[in-house]
Amino acid sequence: MPSIFDALPGLETPVGAISKNLARLWATGDDADTGLKPGEDSKATQVNFVLHLGIHTTAEDALAQFQTAVRFSKRYPCRVVVLCPVRDENVVDGELRAKIYGECHPGKTRGDLRCCEFVMLSYPVAARKFLENQVSICLSTDLPLYYWAHNFSSSAKLGAYQYLLGRAKRVLLDRSLVPEDECGELNWPHPEAVRDLVNARLLPVRQSVGQFLSAYAPAALVEGLGGILVRHGALRRAEARVLAAWTSTRLIACGAPSGLASEVALDPAAEADSVELVFRYEGGSAFRFQGDFARGCAHFSAHIRGAKTELATAIGLLSPEAALAEAMFF
């Protein structure tokens, strides 16, 4: 089975020659995909982006996340550094290894060319103390750093990388991949910088629910409201937790009590990619949202202060690269 470093594309290069060989990469010829040769303007980067793959990441998953970073870079040109840890028992010489990769693609206008640069660093866990210095050399100076920690099994392991956590303008996590009891344990250097990709993916859902409920006065929404229930299919527990927390916050802002009851429950009979949001009222009011992300459809039904409304609409989660942008910049 290939290591995550070996599974990623790129030209292997000595660690000490990364900058020189990146320059040589662009100077040696045209981009294979576009047939166009990049100039200095086309290689201008907007951000530094570090993708840090957890040690339990598979080669297939590593390649999928790499492709997400490539698609992201098409809209936001960036210098991407991909960190690939190696288990110490699999280390031969204990040294860092490096690959470089470049890709260009046409922009929105004729003659517009956008290029991105990737540096892949493979490191044994025992050599972690040397990693931060090498990462700093690979990054573009005077540009903000965004740090995506993918598939870390514990907050303690992520906490060892204080250089990246402390310097990053945003720290991106996918809490669907983090054990529930680990989600809040890390002492973040800058808690305000942490963003959850689950919450970012849910942006279209939050917008749809908010737009539907905006037709009602806040006082009408919370009148007789006893709590909320979010039921979910087998694949959407993380999304259900985030949706429940967001809904509670918004209802409390509308005047619901701060201790509003909130329940998240698995529905074994539901489709695996589905989420259902229900408001529990005392009296005749009702609200229900049902979304099936696999089918891309949703249904709203409400009966509030005597007014009945039903609505069917399209629904979906943000793509991985769009979720990255949402979590980074908004």
As separate numbers, helices (DSSP H) first and strands (DSSP E) second, the chain gives 11, 14
What is the structure's pLDDT at 35?
44
What is the structure's pLDDT at 157?
80
Residues 49 and 136 occupy one common structural domain: yes
> Mean pLDDT throughout 178-206?
84
Residues 110 and 212 occupy one common structural domain: no
> Mean pLDDT throughout 204-212?
98
Q: Is residue 329 part of a domain?
A: no
Q: pLDDT tens for residues 99-137?
A: 999 888 777 776 677 778 899 999 998 888 889 889 999
What is the structure's pLDDT at 129?
81
Of the listed ranges 182-186, 299-303, 311-315, the least confidently predicted one is 182-186
What is the structure's pLDDT at 32?
47
Residues 221 and 167 occupy one common structural domain: no
Print the domain residue range for 296.
Answer: 201-314
Residues 289 and 234 occupy one common structural domain: yes
Pairing of strands 11-13, 97-106: antiparallel
Report CA-CA distances (Å) from 196 to 34, 73, 148, 203, 326. 34, 20, 10, 12, 10
> Mean pLDDT throughout 173-195?
79
pLDDT band at 140 (very low <50, low <70, confident <90, very high): confident
Of the listed ranges 90-94, 186-190, 208-212, the least confidently predicted one is 90-94
Specify the number of domains making up the chain. Answer: 2
The pair of structure tokens assigned to 180 is: 């529930």
> Mean pLDDT throughout 40-52?
78
Q: Is residue 321 part of a domain?
A: no
What is the structure's pLDDT at 115?
79
Q: Percent of the chain at pLDDT above 70?
A: 90
The pair of structure tokens assigned to 55 is: 């040690």
Q: What are the residue ranges of helices labelled H in 90-186?
A: 128-138, 155-158, 162-167
Query: Rg of the chain over CA atoms, in angstroms?
Result: 23
- The residue ranking higher by pLDDT, 261 or 157, is 261
Residues 175 and 237 occupy one common structural domain: no
What is the structure's pLDDT at 34?
43
> Mean pLDDT throughout 253-266?
97
pLDDT band at 39 (very low <50, low <70, confident <90, very high): low
> Mean pLDDT throughout 60-84?
94
Contact between 128 and 99 under an 8 Å Cβ cutoff? The reply is no
Q: What's the CATH number where 256 sits?
A: 3.30.360
What is the structure's pLDDT at 44?
61
What is the structure's pLDDT at 20?
92
Mean pLDDT taken over the chain = 89
Residues 182 and 258 occupy one common structural domain: no
Contact between 2 and 59 under an 8 Å Cβ cutoff? The reply is yes
